[in-house]
Structure 1
């Protein structure tokens, strides 16, 4: 074998070795890629599992039922055209989230005047149609019904009123109001059985409970603004204390609207910073910054408004219109609304009070689990539950 043949053989062997090394390198790279991919898949699965765990820990499902949306999915009915009903209709017109608003009232003169005034407002916006009726049957097809007034303030003749009065409790005005509410809510559920009903009549806890007991609407589709209003007052007073816009502040109150409310101090954030981490004694009697005074101020502020105006017209109507938008647009926002907490927080029977809930096209889709932070909050909340239960039983015992 000559030298030339030896060189060729060596070159062939070198080429074979290079090919083997290249194949080995490709195989190793493929193995590494598979390992990396497996690692990424494992990490992605872990993150997905953790996200699902948080999702199920954070939210308590109430219903996944899809609403039976009729031919007018953006129709809202407002029952009772008192100041509250009128303000609610006006805010819905301004929000432009509805296509049809039906205002309902037994007093034909008041109804005609409100219709004339509100229908003029619709000329300044587009796509909102308003109608008036004195019949609850007009609620049919409404996606949301807002109950603002059930007083027996019609314009019938005196002898007709006297005949009607024999069918309702006559001596106690409060019992008469509850009786009218019971009859009205039952009739609404007959004509608009697929609606979400927003109760704007106070006391919210009593009225939602009465509605749930006497209507055919599932309890998760019966809500009231509740401590949405207290929470708004709370955030406003925090913003005034810190001289920061309330838009940059979170903070909620739960329980009952008014003196049965409970501030959750651990829920307060300012620009994403938890105030509890900056002041561990916030809201307690040991707090040198006197934050617990804000709770008293919230209740005093509401008392002052009611004493002078009779009711918190604009606060309730704004909260109600916000809930309407959440429902019609399926926004799934969290609000502290009056809802049924049966089977939660140790409650075994129907009981309506305010806790954070996700508001969707169904009404309430989920309740949000709350961190009551300490035994003091737990005890206070348990006491509030007991107070509200007692109040509801007392108010409804003769109805």
Structure 2
């Protein structure tokens, strides 16, 4: 039998000069839906600031209580991160499970995490969020443990063990962080190894569910058709929680590493950003970012803004960026089309990938030189080297040696400059 969905009312405070409030409430609905929670109503209040004790004013609180009772809602979800005292006060007033945007996102991450590193990162973030809220979360945590319903039967459970619980959580966080540090160290070794190989790194970034993983798979299929290293793709929020790195081998002896990253969302909990910092560091060390945008989204400019805010927090806003406006097949905009550092495409229809690759190529392979050289026969090893590491366009043999017309790295040209004759 299909499990009955839990029902919820969502609540938000619209502050003065806040232009993105309708968007953030819609995003909260999407987050609830990703947690299999049915939003049955919503309540909002315009205010100069959030009420420090109950998040909303007393009049609105009474309205919310009546609304929750009228709908017999299982829970109430708030659009901002609540303080421990706000959770306690709201649960006492509403007599229902109270959760906030942060715990909703943490729930989704916990459900989606597949690798050990992602699972550790999510658990650390959840425990750090839970620690100061042990009393206020008595009902909410019942839901996470599979309690369901309003969680009222859990009220008061374990309060006498509060200090013990707190110490256990602190010990658990310490143990998890120690295990995480080992995995992070391994990741850093792999990253240093890649840097030593001098392969350019291109990183896919963007809002969650814009098509980053689909784009990676499409590029793998195009340039590495024999690969079995496709990444997981599903039309849902946060399908990707672990960084995947794949080599894209182009036909002219040029390769680059393509990295798929965690999707961003507005007000990404700081506990999560902190826990996932090692994963997100992949972004900061990229040579080029490909900012994937869902161009069919009615508020796509807001998605761009959310991603830029997160990149700024990571210190990655200054990295060269090209924009890939995906899902153009769902819009009236012509595609494939390139405008400066923007490419309009459809991954689903495989249109625009060539244009995207040209943009990428122009950014990461700009240290190449086209030349014609004559390599003496006694330097025959250089012929092999350039055939393997450069794009050799023509080869001919002359009495003095091998003549190559090629495109190679400027660094290689300078390194072996004294071992061959430059013809043009």
- TM-score, normalising length from structure 2? 0.24
Higher percent of residues as helix: 1
Larger radius of gyration: 1
